[in-house]
Structure 1
Amino acid sequence: MRNRTTVMVSIVLAMLVASMDTTIANTTMPIIVDDIGGNSLYAWVFTSYMVLSTVLAPLAGRISDLFGRKRIFATGIVLFLGGSVLCGLSHSMLQLIIFRAIQGIGAGVMMPFPSIIAGDIYPVEQRGKVQAFFTGMWGLSAILAPTLGTFFVTYLSWRWIFFVNIPICLISLLALLPYKEVYQPKKAVIDYWGALLFACGISSLLLTTVVHSYTFIYEAIGVILLIIFFLYEKGHAAPIVPLNLMRNRPVALMIGGSFLSCAALFGTSSFIPLFLQNQGHSLFVSGIALLSTSIGWMVVAVPSGKWVLRFGYKPLLIAGHSLLVVTAVLLFFIREGTSFGYIFGALTMLGLSFGLLFTVSTIGAQQLVEAHQKGISTSLQLFARNIGTAVSVTVMGAIVTQSDIFYEGIHKMFVYGLLASIIAFAVPFAIRAGKKEQLSE
C-alpha cells in the first residue's frame, strides 16, 4: 500500500518516545530533585503522566472512530512534543508535574494508534509481524532509556531527557503528512459529558494506587462517577464508550482476559531488576534480563496473525494463558541465589505468553467489530492492559514493601502471581468458537 512505509516510521517513532519517556525519567529523577527540589512531590511526576496517559487512551481511540486516525494521532504527537519542551524548561517540581501531565495527555492520545493504524493498513495475516516489530521497539526503549538518561546527566543536563523527544516527534509528524487515510470516519456528536465522567471516574480509582491516606474517598468517588457514566451512556445516541461493544462476547472476554493476565504477572518486570541487583548484578545485566521478555514476545508475535486464520482465537488464547500459568510456576520457585539463567528463561516464557495473548487479542479487537468501532475496541484492549498493570505493580509493591525480609516478599509476590494467573486461565474457555472464516473477515 502506498505510504505504508512512511506511516510505519511515524507510528514507530511515536511509540518509541512514549515508551521510553517513563523509564528515562525513572533513572534521572534523583538528579532532577537535587537540581530543582520538591522531594515531597516526587511521586506526582510519575502519577500525573500515568493517570492521564491511561485514561485518555480509550477516549482517543473512540474519537478517532468519529473523526479519523490521522488528525487525532497528530494532535497527540503535538501535545507530547509541547509537554516535552515545557518539561525541559521546568524550574520547579510543581511546573514539572503540570508539564508531565501535558506529556501524559499526548502519550495517552498517541499510544493506541500504532495498533489501530496497523489494523487499518495491514491484512490480518501480516499483523503478527507488525505487532512483533512494535514489541521490538518497547524492548529497544527499555535498553535505550537508562543508557541515554545516564549519558545526558553525565555530559549534558537532565533537561535533555525531555529535549531529545523534539527531533523524534518532528520526524514522526513529517512522516505522517503524506499518509492517505484508509479509514473513513463516521461523523457523530461528541459525547463530552461521557468523556468527562469516564476520565474523572477512572482517574479517581487510579489515584488510590499512589495516595497513602483517605483512599476510600477516592474509591467512593470513582465508583459513583463510573455508575453515573454507565447510566448516562445507556441513553446517549453516540456514546464515547459504546456499551454494546461489551455484548460482543469474544471481544468482552478478550478485554477481561487482558486485564486479568496483566494484573497477574505484568508487574514482574518492575521487580525482577530489583531482585537481580540485590543478588549483586549490575543495572545493565538487569536490563538484559528484561530483554528476554521481548525476545519471547517477538518469537510468537510474528506468526500469530497466520495462526489466527488457521486455528481461531480460542485455542491460541488458551495456549497463551497456559504459558502464563507455567511462567507463574517458574517464578514461584525463585529464591535467594536463583541463577541469572533461570530468571532469563522464566522471563522468556513470560514473553511467549504475553506475545501470544496480546497479539491475538489485538487482532480480535479489530476483526470482531464493525469498522467504526475498531478504534475504541483496540483502545479498550490497551486500557485493560494498563489498568491491569497498575493493579499488578501496586499489589506486588505492597507485598514486597510490607515484608520484613526482601526475598520472602518476592516469594509472596509470586504466590499472588500464580493464583491470579490461574484465575485468568479460566477466561478463554468461555469464548464460543466460531467459524474461522468469520474470525478473519
Structure 2
Amino acid sequence: MKSKIAVLVSMMLALLMASLDTTIMNTTMPLIAKSLGGFDLFAWPFATYMIATTVLAPVAGRLSDLYGRKQVFASGMIVFLIGSLLCGLSQTMIQLVIFRGIQGIGAGFMMPFPAIIAGDLFSVEKRGKIQAIGTSMWGLSAVIAPLLGAFFVEHSTWRWIFFVNIPIALLALVALLPYREEYTPKKAQIDYIGTLLFTTGVTLLLLVTVVDRNPFVYGLAGALFVICFYFFEKRQSSSLIPFSIFRDKTLRWMNINGFLGWAALFGAASYIPLFLQNMAHLTIFTSGIVLLGTAIGWITASVPTGTWILKYGYRPLFIIGNALLAFSGVLLALLHEESGFWYVFIVMIIQGLAFGMLSTTGVIGAQQLVQAHEKGISTSFMMFSRNIGTAIGVTIMGAFLSKSEDFMSGMYQLFLYGLMGSLLAFVTSFFIKDRQSVK
C-alpha cells in the first residue's frame, strides 16, 4: 500500500511539472524574448515543447511495455529536470528553443504514465478517482502558473519558472524509489527505424501548425514519412505501434472519437480568456479563473466513471459525454458581447463534465481492451490521438480568429467550427460497441 501511495505522489508531481510548463510561459514570454532577443522566434519555445511532448508519448508507452514502467518514467523525469536546468541557464532564444525541446522530450516520457501505471495498480472503479486527482493537477496549474510566473518576474528572475522544477523533479524521483512494478515487461527489440519514421513524420505534420512559410511542404513530407512508417511497421515482428490493437473496432472508434472531440472543442480553453478580456474587460487573472470550471466538471465526472463503466458499459458513456460536449458547443456558439463570467463559467463546467467522462472512459477502454503487454502503447496512443486533435483544433480556431474582419465575428466562426466538430464526434460515438474486456 505504501508503494502505491508513493508512486501516486510521484505521478501527480510529474503531472504538475508538465502541466505548469505548458502554460507558465504564457504571461512571461514577452519579457523572456526581450531579455534574450530574437522576437522572431517568439512562438518556438511553445512549439518545440508541444511537438516533443505529443510525438514521444506513444514511444514512451511502447518502451514501457518492453522494459517496464518505472525505468522509462524515471528517465523522463531526469530528462525533464536537465531540460529545465538548461532552459533556466539559456543565454539566447535559440538555446531556449532547443532546451525547451529537451524539456518536452522529458514531458512526453512522463505524461502517459499516471494513466498507464494506474491501469497496472488500481481497479477499474478506482481509476476514475486517480484520473480526477491528475485532472486537479492541471486545474491547479491553470491557476498558479500565471501567479508563479508573475511572482518570479517581479521578485526575482524569469529563470526561476524553470528552476522551480528541479526540487519538484527530485522529490518525484525520491517518491518513485519504493515503487515495485506489478507489470512484467515483454522483452523485444526496439524498432529504431519505425521510431525514426514515426517521430519525423509526426513532427513535420505538427510543424504545419506553427510555420508561416511553405506549410504544404512540411505537411507533404510528414505525410510521406507516416505512410512509409505504416508500410514498414506492417512487416515488423516488434513494431513501435502494433496495428493489431486497431483491429478491434471498439478501440478504433474510441481513438477516432477522441481525435474529433478534442479537435472540436478542447482548444476552446485557449480562446475563452481572450474573449473575456476583450469583450467583458476582465483581467488576465480573472479570465483565467473561468477555466477552473472545466477542472470542476472534469473531476466531478471522472470520479464515478470507473463504476459507471462496469454498470453501463462504454457506449452509453461515450454517447452521453459527446452529447454534453455538443451542448457546450451550442452554448459557446451563442456567446455574444454581453456574455459575462458566470455564463462562460457554467459552459466550462459542462464542457469539463464532457471531457472528464470521455477522457476517463477512453483511457480505461484503451487499457481493458488489449493484452497486458500492449497496455502502455494503447493508453499512450489514445492520448496521442487527442493531442493531435488538440493541435489541429487550436490551429484551425486561430486561423478563423486571425483572418476575420473583427474580433467578435472571428470568435463566432471558431466556436461554430467547434460546434460542428462536436456534432461529428457525437455521431461517431454510436459506432462504439461494448464488448468483453481482455482483463
Q: Does 1:439 align with 2:437?
A: yes
Any idea what SS the aligned residue of 1:209 has? coil
2:382 alignment partner in structure 1 = 381
1:235 alignment partner in structure 2 = 235
Q: Does 1:412 align with 2:413?
A: yes
**Quick one: distance in 2 between partners of 1:143 and 1:340?**
16
Any idea what SS the aligned residue of 1:301 has? helix
2:129 alignment partner in structure 1 = 129
2:57 alignment partner in structure 1 = 57
Q: Does 1:303 align with 2:301?
A: no
2:205 alignment partner in structure 1 = 205
2:289 alignment partner in structure 1 = 288
Any idea what SS the aligned residue of 2:73 has? helix
1:398 alignment partner in structure 2 = 399
1:312 alignment partner in structure 2 = 313
- The more displaced of 148-157 and 41-50 is 41-50
**Quick one: distance in 2 between partners of 1:331 and 1:259?**
20
- The more displaced of 242-251 and 58-67 is 242-251
Q: Kindly tell me: are residues 24 and 104 of structure 1, through their superposed partners in 2, closer, same or farther at Cα, counting changes over 3 Å?
A: same
**Quick one: distance in 1 between partners of 2:69 and 2:157?**
36
Shift in Å at residue 432 of structure 1? Answer: 2.3
The number of residues matched between the two structures is 438
- The more displaced of 42-51 and 187-196 is 42-51
1:341 alignment partner in structure 2 = 342
Shift in Å at residue 177 of structure 1? Answer: 0.8
**Quick one: distance in 1 between partners of 2:32 and 2:433?**
52
1:425 alignment partner in structure 2 = 426
Shift in Å at residue 103 of structure 1? Answer: 0.3
Amino acid at match of 1:326: F
**Quick one: distance in 1 between partners of 2:306 and 2:182?**
20
**Quick one: distance in 2 between partners of 1:110 and 1:362?**
16
Contact persistence 2:314–2:433 (CA under 8 A): no
**Quick one: distance in 2 between partners of 1:392 and 1:424?**
13
Amino acid at match of 1:208: V
- The more displaced of 422-431 and 305-314 is 422-431
Amino acid at match of 1:439: S
For residues 323-343 of structure 1, the C-alpha deviation after alignment (integer angstroms, 9 at most, x for no partner) is 011111111100111121111
Any idea what SS the aligned residue of 2:25 has? helix
Q: Does 1:151 align with 2:151?
A: yes
Amino acid at match of 1:205: L
For residues 277-329 of structure 1, the C-alpha deviation after alignment (integer angstroms, 9 at most, x for no partner) is 11210112112200000001111110000000000000010000110111111
Any idea what SS the aligned residue of 2:271 has? helix
Shift in Å at residue 216 of structure 1? Answer: 1.0
Amino acid at match of 1:351: G
1:368 alignment partner in structure 2 = 369
TM-score of the aligned structures, taking structure 2 as reference length: 0.99
Amino acid at match of 1:216: F
1:275 alignment partner in structure 2 = 275
Any idea what SS the aligned residue of 2:28 has? helix
**Quick one: distance in 2 between partners of 1:329 and 1:246?**
32
**Quick one: distance in 2 between partners of 1:122 and 1:432?**
24
**Quick one: distance in 2 between partners of 1:348 and 1:64?**
34
Shift in Å at residue 159 of structure 1? Answer: 0.3
Contact persistence 2:276–2:340 (CA under 8 A): no
For residues 26-41 of structure 1, the aligned pairs below 5 Å read: 26-41=26-41
TM-score of the aligned structures, taking structure 1 as reference length: 0.98
**Quick one: distance in 2 between partners of 1:2 and 1:249?**
39
Shift in Å at residue 35 of structure 1? Answer: 1.0
**Quick one: distance in 1 between partners of 2:413 and 2:14?**
37
Shift in Å at residue 439 of structure 1? Answer: 3.5
For residues 166-195 of structure 1, the C-alpha deviation after alignment (integer angstroms, 9 at most, x for no partner) is 000000000001100111000001100000
**Quick one: distance in 2 between partners of 1:407 and 1:264?**
19
Shift in Å at residue 440 of structure 1? Answer: 8.0
Contact persistence 1:66–1:186 (CA under 8 A): yes
**Quick one: distance in 1 between partners of 2:434 and 2:267?**
31
Contact persistence 2:370–2:438 (CA under 8 A): no
Amino acid at match of 1:106: G
Any idea what SS the aligned residue of 2:434 has? coil
**Quick one: distance in 1 between partners of 2:36 and 2:432?**
53
1:101 alignment partner in structure 2 = 101
**Quick one: distance in 1 between partners of 2:190 and 2:434?**
35
2:351 alignment partner in structure 1 = 350
Structure 1: state its 5+ residue gaps.
none
Contact persistence 1:20–1:145 (CA under 8 A): yes
Which contiguous aligned blocks of 4+ residues in structure 1 show a shift greater than 3 angstroms? none
Q: Kindly tell me: are residues 126 and 440 of structure 1, through their superposed partners in 2, closer, same or farther at Cα, counting changes over 3 Å?
A: farther
Contact persistence 1:318–1:425 (CA under 8 A): yes
2:78 alignment partner in structure 1 = 78
**Quick one: distance in 2 between partners of 1:440 and 1:173?**
32
1:330 alignment partner in structure 2 = 331
Amino acid at match of 1:247: R
**Quick one: distance in 2 between partners of 1:202 and 1:61?**
16
**Quick one: distance in 1 between partners of 2:146 and 2:268?**
18
Contact persistence 2:86–2:99 (CA under 8 A): yes
Contact persistence 1:15–1:137 (CA under 8 A): yes
- The more displaced of 164-173 and 2-11 is 2-11
**Quick one: distance in 2 between partners of 1:356 and 1:69?**
26
**Quick one: distance in 2 between partners of 1:79 and 1:280?**
41
2:66 alignment partner in structure 1 = 66
1:359 alignment partner in structure 2 = 360
**Quick one: distance in 2 between partners of 1:130 and 1:294?**
14
Q: Does 1:223 align with 2:223?
A: yes
Contact persistence 1:24–1:161 (CA under 8 A): yes
1:321 alignment partner in structure 2 = 322
**Quick one: distance in 2 between partners of 1:342 and 1:95?**
43
Amino acid at match of 2:387: N
- The more displaced of 71-80 and 424-433 is 424-433
Amino acid at match of 1:57: A
2:165 alignment partner in structure 1 = 165
Structure 2: state its 5+ residue gaps.
none
